Amino acid sequence: MDDTTFTSTLDIDTEAAVRPVQRVEVLTKMAGRRRIWTLEEKLALVAEMERCGNIAALSRERDVSTSLLYTWRRELRYAVQASQLPPRQEPMFVPVMAQASSPAPGDGMVEVEVEVGGAVVRIGPSARTDLAVAVIQALRIEQ
């Protein structure tokens, strides 16, 4: 092979010959920019995706990434599940579950600060569990 036919180091490394370009595709409109999809377009594509047998072919026809179609489908599924949950009117509390154990020498102090009344409660490592739970419940009732 003649060295003058190589155009880049890639061609030299792979010893691929330079061939004339067969087809040139010109991208118009949104070339190089992100497209903005409306909610209606997303829903229509997801609905079409559910009826389609070959999602890769659909994505090529519509010029959209298959991963984007799957993302939209997952987001729609999450939105439907969230709409079926009952609305919460008040904040929920997690119950305090504690087990009595002997404190380790390196245990620190627990400090609870309540913003409403401005109270600060410090619970030491040797405090009884039932006493600590009673104090926290009393603070919650006063709010």
- Out of 48-57, 92-101, 109-118, the most confident range is 48-57
**Higher pLDDT, residue 99 or 9:** 99
pLDDT in tens, 28-37: 655 566 788 9
Residues 27, 100: Cα–Cα separation, whole Å: 70
> Does 92 score more than 60 pLDDT?
yes
Helices (H) then strands (E): counts for the chain = 5, 2
Residues 137, 131: Cα–Cα separation, whole Å: 10
Q: From residue 73, give the alpha-carbon distance in Å to each of 64, 76, 78, 96, 114.
A: 13, 5, 9, 38, 43
Longest dimension (CA), the chain: 90
The predicted pLDDT at position 125 comes to 73
Enclosing H/E stretch for 141: helix 129-142
pLDDT in tens, 109-139: 666 666 656 677 777 777 778 887 887 777 7
Least confident stretch, 38-52, 78-92, 94-108, 124-138: 94-108
Task: Please provide the average confidence, as pLDDT, over all residues in the chain.
Answer: 75
Report the pLDDT averaged over residues 73-84. Answer: 90
Q: Count Cβ atoms below 10 Å from residue 72 Cβ, excluding itself.
A: 19
Q: Are 45 and 62 in contact (CB under 8 A)?
A: yes
pTM of the predicted structure, to 2 decimals: 0.41
pLDDT in tens, 67-76: 999 999 999 9
Q: Are 72 and 65 in contact (CB under 8 A)?
A: no
> Does 82 score more than 60 pLDDT?
yes
> Does 59 score more than 80 pLDDT?
yes
